[in-house]
Chains A and B, each alone.
Chain A
Amino acid sequence: MSQPLRGDDGTGNAADSDGTWDLRLYVTDRSPKCLRAIENLRRACEEHLAGRYRIEVVDLLEDPRLGAGDQILAVPTVVRKLPSPMRKIVGDLSDTDRLLVGLDLRPPRPTAT
């Protein structure tokens, strides 16, 4: 099932309002892609969101229907539940730039705007 990897502060109900990033990472078992994704996500969060994030890892192999609510078709997928709007980042998150863009931690491209 799901297990919080790290929820430094604000693990309680108040987490939503105090700027905590609520992330859910869907994986299937411990495939290399998924393990890489977990590692990449944790590193990025530590770097940019230290103390302000919570990651829940959901293994769809245990119950495939757990992904239904988030319409999960592909793994690994990170769902940014909070802050809204919801975003999905699909892949092993090896492209850190795109991961940060997906998480809204960095504007898409300085040159683009």
Chain B
Amino acid sequence: MASDVLPNSVDTDIGPGLDKAPTGVRGLDQITGGGIPRGRVTLVAGSAGTGKTLLGLEFLVGGIREQGEPGVLVTFEESAAKVSANVRSLGFDLDALQRDGLLAVLSFQVDPAEIVATGEFDFEPLFLILGDAIARVGAQRIVLDTVEVLFGAFGDDSTVRGEIGRLARWLEDRGVTAIVTGERAGKMLTRHGIEEFVSDCVIVLDQRVREEIATRHLQVIKYRGSAHGTNEYPFLISARGFTVLPVTSMGLDYHVSEERIPTGIARLDHMLGGGLFRGSTGLVTGMAGTGKTSLGAYLVDAACSRGEQAVLALYEESPEQVLRNMRSIGLDLRRWVDAGLLRVWASRPSAYGLETHLAELAQLVDEVTPSVTVLDGITGLTHGASAPAVTSMVSRQLGLLKDRGITTLATGLSDGAETSTVSVSSMVDTWLQLRNTEQGGERNRLLSVLKSRGTAHSNQAREFVLSDQGIELVDVYVGAEGVLTGSARMGQEAATRDAEVRQADGLNRHRRELRRSIAEREAHLAAVQDQLSAEQAEIDQLDRRERHQVADSRADRMAMGRQRWADAAPGDRGQRDDGGQRTDGGQR
């Protein structure tokens, strides 16, 4: 739990020696860097019904259970039995703690109607009985709720004031850590100004009604010697008690998992590089009717299919309606509900204040311990509250789930731009956007991954097709006419196929023509080759004939020469073996 982890990281204690007593109130110890000043008096001021008494009781019970510090409760407003009964539903058994000697409860009814004041008095009996109770249980903590009722009852308020001041010092002398509660009145911190006796720590509780929905806030307005969160922190009073929700407590030290969990849509997993990281936070935004809930339902369905627990929190629709609608896209969530794996929980935004929504969610996830939680329709919460308040609440919801290592997908309306009405996009790990495109008289859905931390993810939009077969992601047609979806995509795909066929036909024709041409040219080439060969042959023949003629004519001449005993003809000199003879003979 956050409160176990965070005091170290948030502790901004500037007084190194300042000893703090953890209050045991979830969240408060984080704001105060470890608790309220030990051995000092802390004032908790607030108007009626803001939870002052409960804060005090948590402080006492937390001290007993977690710190081993017994305590004393002094109540001036309700009987001990009534206080005990009031907190039994929170799991505080004050009677048992009293039997075990860890708690003393003193109650005093101060009824001005039965008191007549005449003359000097003091509160010595109160001191005596407190001293006795402190000694009896070995108390280290004490809560006085609300000492202000003493004013007006004894006639002489200056004596009462003096006695309360004396009581504060007396408690500090005993080293007990005390909480005194005071009633706020108008601009006064407390009706009777008892803050003047409390110099160390003042906490103010406040309840505001906005848009007819109550929201509680806690603020530490003074903490001597210590840094502290000065904001107004929302707090809840739920069946789990008093919980302060410091926004800063969304520590950044949560466990980080490398494990991917499937979204239930294989192609989406692929787009995200394998699915969502376990324990990460996802956001799906989109206009109305873009299929956000369906996407969430798939994630839940996938988790339950793996045998994991899941929570589907609905802020806009009823469980029955969502179960029916999901059945229409082929998703049977009811079987998971029946199997006890899925908890579908609906909360009307206008039913409670934001803090209550948060508290109920916290309670639910602590009870179910889901691995996956889908918050469907977070923007619906803005019906009852201002957008910043919802943003703050949703971030705390997401933080709370993240702290617990729960994979979360929140869905919300967006106005079409890459923004979310509830601006939590900066704190989510994965942001999917669903978009409607209108083309050719029909609306189609596009899904794109706007961000996915730690993941190489697809930058291309997919068409998100919802049918009774479920969700299908289809590649969009990106062409000269832009991104096409739906019928236009199908038309374009058909047109493309046609064009391809046509193109193929053309190519074949051209190919055939070329082949024919080649064949023709080859034939032609062969003919030319034949002609060349014939001509060459003729040349050869001519050569041969010439040589024969020369040889014949020489033989004829020689024959004639021999006939006539003629000298060798000048042209025959080279033919003779003996050159000398021939030269001589030539000169002769």
Which residues from chain A sit less than 8 Å from chain B, CB to CB?
Answer: 26, 28, 31, 33, 36-37, 40, 60-61, 64-65, 67-68, 71-77, 85-95, 98-99, 101-102
15 A-B pairs within 8 Å (CB atoms) are namely A28-B124, A33-B120, A60-B124, A60-B128, A67-B129, A71-B108, A73-B125, A73-B150, A75-B124, A89-B116, A90-B115, A90-B154, A91-B117, A91-B119, A91-B120
Q: What does the 1/0 interface line of B110-137 toward A look like (CB < 8 Å)?
A: 1000111111111111101101100000
What residues of chain B lie closer than 8 Å to A91, measured between beta carbons? Answer: 117-121, 154-156
Known contacts: A71-B109, A73-B110. The answer to whether A92 contacts B121 by CB under 8 A is: yes
Q: Could you say which of B114, B118, B128 has the most chain A C-beta atoms within 10 Å of its C-beta?
A: B118
Out of A37, A60, A88, A89, name the residue touching B125 (CB < 8 Å). A60
| Contact between B119 and A73, CB atoms less than 8 A apart | no
What residues of chain A lie closer than 8 Å to B126, measured between beta carbons? Answer: 73-74
Bound: A6/B348 CA distance, A: 71
Could you tell me which residues of chain B, from 56 to 114, have a CB within 8 Å of some CB in chain A?
A: 106, 108-110, 114
Bound: A68/B114 CA distance, A: 16
| Contact between B122 and A68, CB atoms less than 8 A apart | no
Q: What does the 1/0 interface line of B218-230 toward A look like (CB < 8 Å)?
A: 0000000000000
| Contact between A92 and B125, CB atoms less than 8 A apart | no
**Closest chain A CB from B148 CB (angstroms):** 13
**Closest chain B CB from A25 CB (angstroms):** 12
What residues of chain B lie closer than 8 Å to A102, measured between beta carbons? Answer: 116, 118
What residues of chain B lie closer than 8 Å to A31, measured between beta carbons? Answer: 124
Q: Could you say which of B120, B125, B132 has the most chain A C-beta atoms within 10 Å of its C-beta?
A: B125
| Contact between B116 and A76, CB atoms less than 8 A apart | no
Q: Could you say which of A91, A95, A102 has the most chain B C-beta atoms within 10 Å of its C-beta?
A: A91
| Interface Cβ pair total, 8 Å cutoff | 99
| Contact between A74 and B118, CB atoms less than 8 A apart | no
* Minimal Cβ-Cβ distance residue in A for B154: A90
Out of B106, B118, B128, B129, name the residue touching A90 (CB < 8 Å). B118
Could you tell me which residues of chain B, from 300 to 331, have a CB within 8 Å of some CB in chain A?
A: none
**Closest chain A CB from B267 CB (angstroms):** 74
**Closest chain B CB from A83 CB (angstroms):** 14
* Minimal Cβ-Cβ distance residue in B for A32: B120
Out of A26, A73, A88, A99, name the residue touching B123 (CB < 8 Å). A73
What residues of chain A lie closer than 8 Å to B125, measured between beta carbons? Answer: 26, 28, 60, 64, 67, 72-75, 77
What residues of chain B lie closer than 8 Å to A36, measured between beta carbons? Answer: 119-120
**Closest chain B CB from A85 CB (angstroms):** 7
Out of A72, A85, A87, name the residue touching B116 (CB < 8 Å). A87
| Contact between A68 and B129, CB atoms less than 8 A apart | yes
What residues of chain B lie closer than 8 Å to A26, measured between beta carbons? Answer: 125
**Closest chain B CB from A70 CB (angstroms):** 10
| Contact between B121 and A88, CB atoms less than 8 A apart | no
| Contact between B119 and A77, CB atoms less than 8 A apart | no
Known contacts: A60-B125, A68-B129, A90-B154. The answer to whether A85 contacts B114 by CB under 8 A is: yes
* Minimal Cβ-Cβ distance residue in B for A96: B118
Known contacts: A64-B132, A68-B129, A86-B114. The answer to whether A74 contacts B119 by CB under 8 A is: no
What residues of chain B lie closer than 8 Å to A37, measured between beta carbons? Answer: 119
Bound: A86/B114 CA distance, A: 7
| Contact between B121 and A65, CB atoms less than 8 A apart | no
**Closest chain A CB from B164 CB (angstroms):** 12
Known contacts: A87-B114, A90-B154. The answer to whether A74 contacts B128 by CB under 8 A is: no
| Contact between B116 and A90, CB atoms less than 8 A apart | yes
* Minimal Cβ-Cβ distance residue in B for A40: B119
In the A-B complex, the 6 residue pairs with the smallest Cβ-Cβ separation, listed nearest first, are A91-B119, A102-B116, A64-B128, A92-B119, A98-B118, A94-B119
Bound: A12/B581 CA distance, A: 199
| Contact between A33 and B128, CB atoms less than 8 A apart | no
Bound: A77/B117 CA distance, A: 9
What residues of chain B lie closer than 8 Å to A86, measured between beta carbons? Answer: 114
What residues of chain B lie closer than 8 Å to A71, measured between beta carbons? Answer: 108-110
Bound: A84/B13 CA distance, A: 57
**Closest chain B CB from A44 CB (angstroms):** 11
What residues of chain A lie closer than 8 Å to B117, measured between beta carbons? Answer: 89-91, 98
Bound: A102/B125 CA distance, A: 21
Known contacts: A61-B128, A73-B108. The answer to whether A88 contacts B116 by CB under 8 A is: yes
| Contact between A94 and B120, CB atoms less than 8 A apart | yes
What residues of chain B lie closer than 8 Å to A99, measured between beta carbons? Answer: 116, 118
**Closest chain B CB from A21 CB (angstroms):** 15
Bound: A51/B332 CA distance, A: 90
What residues of chain B lie closer than 8 Å to A75, measured between beta carbons? Answer: 121-122, 124-125
**Closest chain A CB from B115 CB (angstroms):** 5
What residues of chain A lie closer than 8 Å to B131, measured between beta carbons? Answer: 64
| Contact between B109 and A88, CB atoms less than 8 A apart | no
**Closest chain B CB from A80 CB (angstroms):** 10
* Minimal Cβ-Cβ distance residue in B for A64: B128
What residues of chain B lie closer than 8 Å to A64, measured between beta carbons? Answer: 125, 128-129, 131-132
Bound: A73/B163 CA distance, A: 11
Q: Could you say which of A85, A101, A102 has the most chain B C-beta atoms within 10 Å of its C-beta?
A: A102
Bound: A69/B501 CA distance, A: 103
| Contact between A92 and B120, CB atoms less than 8 A apart | yes
* Minimal Cβ-Cβ distance residue in A for B110: A73
**Closest chain B CB from A47 CB (angstroms):** 16
